[in-house]
């Protein structure tokens, strides 16, 4: 090929890939996030493509999105604290403000080397949570980046790990359960010490000789429901998981779920919360 056609090809690739990036909404940490806590323990590098949070004896660290979102699909890739991460918690969540805030939570509870992290999830509506579900993961979340997503629609909230649905919180307003739908939320993340409860209920303490502890973030991506065009997408229009999605969800719930508030009769002796009814009644 002559230099003309090479130039053409390169030009084409540049335009084409910027179109792809453009339609994915950018994903530049400088543009989309503020580092809010922990001074230089929170860092953005690689021109905005990578972010890290660290925790040492003095402090943890955190960041938050500049924008607020009201419905959408939010993807982030995380690589969690490796090695002995016992006592550390990496929280990654959406939240609105105030005493009646809504919240959609992922929390990653560290462990001693070789033992499994716990992925803790919760949903707060009108300031009230107590809807914990916990999972082990089917991979080591410290070896590579994995994608943790939240689909937030008026009909439901779906938590996905590498595109596998692990939890669905349906809109159960028809039976009196508030659903997050009026208060816009920001994205937050923080890495902190929680060795009073995180690992085996607080039995295993943080080993500070291993500090600083560091978690990494990349490939942030939002389908913002208010930035329309992507929402003509058929996958977004449908309000049910498809058959493979339901199968994956059952697989995760059967083999990896280790706690579900909906089946905790000791905790709810007078009956589990109404949204725990089988979904066909909702």
Ligand X SMILES: *[C@@H]1O[C@H](CO)[C@@H](O)[C@H](O)[C@H]1NC(C)=O
Binding site for ligand X (CB under 6 A): 109, 111, 115-116, 118, 198-200
Q: Least distance from C-beta 116 to ligand X, angstroms?
A: 5
Q: Tell me the closest approach of the beta carbon of residue 122 to ligand X, in angstroms.
A: 15
Burial class (CB in 10 A: 0-12, 13-18, 19+), 253: middle
Q: Pick the closer one to ligand X by CB: 200 or 247.
A: 200
Q: How far is the CB of 109 from ligand X (least distance, A)?
A: 4
In the chain, what is the straight-line distance between the N-terminal and C-terminal CA atoms, in Å?
62
Least Å distance, CB 200 to ligand X, is 4
Q: Which of 103, 132, 173, 275 is catalytic?
A: 103
Question: Is 103 labeled as catalytic in the residue annotation?
Answer: yes
Q: Which residue is nearest to ligand X (CB)?
A: 115
Tokens of 89: 């918690």
175: region left, alpha or beta (phi > 0 left; psi from -120 to 50 alpha): alpha
Q: In residues, how long is the chain?
A: 282
What is d(CA 162, CA 115) in angstroms, rounded to the nearest whole number? Answer: 21
CA dihedral 187, 191, 192, 198 (to 10 degrees): 90
Q: Write down the least CB distance from residue 202 to ligand X, Å.
A: 9
240 classed as catalytic:
no
CA distances (Å), 93 to each of 107, 122, 133, 251, in order?
Answer: 8, 9, 15, 24
The residue annotated as part of the active site, out of 107, 132, 240, 275, is 107
Q: Listing from the earlier edge strand, what are the strands of the sheet with 133-135?
A: 33-37, 61-65, 186-193, 88-95, 103-109, 118-124, 133-135, 257-260
Residue 188 beta carbon to ligand X: minimum distance, rounded to whole angstroms: 21
Nearer to ligand X, 258 or 265 (CB): 258
**What's the rounded Cα separation, in Å, for the pair 50 and 144?**
14
SS3 state at 15: helix
* 119 vs 183: CA distance, rounded Å: 25
Residue among 65 and 199 whose Cβ is closer to ligand X = 199
Among 63, 85, 133, smallest CA distance to 276 is for 133
Catalytic residues: 103, 107
């Amino acid at each position: 090929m002559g230099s003309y056609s090479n130039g053409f090809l390169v030009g084409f690739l540049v335009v084409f890939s910027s179109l792809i990036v453009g339609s994915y909404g950018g994903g530049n940490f400088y543009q989309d996030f503020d580092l809010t806590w922990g001074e230089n323990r929170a860092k953005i590098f690689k021109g905005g493509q990578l972010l890290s949070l660290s925790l040492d004896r003095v402090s943890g660290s955190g960041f938050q999105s500049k924008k607020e979102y009201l419905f959408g699909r939010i993807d982030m890739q995380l690589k969690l604290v490796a090695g002995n991460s016992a006592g550390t918690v990496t929280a990654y969540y959406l939240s609105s403000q105030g005493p009646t805030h809504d919240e959609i939570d992922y929390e990653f509870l560290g462990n001693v080397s070789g033992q499994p992290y716990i992925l803790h999830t919760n949903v707060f509506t009108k300031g009230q949570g107590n809807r914990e579900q916990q999972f082990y993961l089917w991979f080591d979340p410290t070896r590579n980046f994995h994608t943790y997503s939240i689909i937030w629609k008026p009909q439901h909230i779906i938590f996905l790990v590498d595109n596998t649905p692990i939890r669905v919180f349906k809109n159960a307003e028809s039976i009196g359960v508030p659903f997050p739908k009026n208060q816009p939320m920001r994205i937050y993340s923080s890495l902190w010490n929680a060795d009073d409860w995180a690992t085996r209920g607080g039995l295993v303490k943080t080993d500070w000789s291993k500090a600083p502890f560091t978690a990494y973030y990349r490939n942030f991506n939002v389908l913002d429901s208010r930035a329309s065009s992507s929402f003509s997408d058929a996958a977004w229009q449908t309000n049910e998981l498809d058959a493979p999605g339901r199968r994956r969800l059952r697989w995760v719930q059967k083999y990896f779920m280790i706690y579900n508030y909906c089946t905790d009769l000791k905790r709810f002796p007078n009956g589990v919360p109404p949204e725990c009814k089988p979904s066909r009644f909702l």
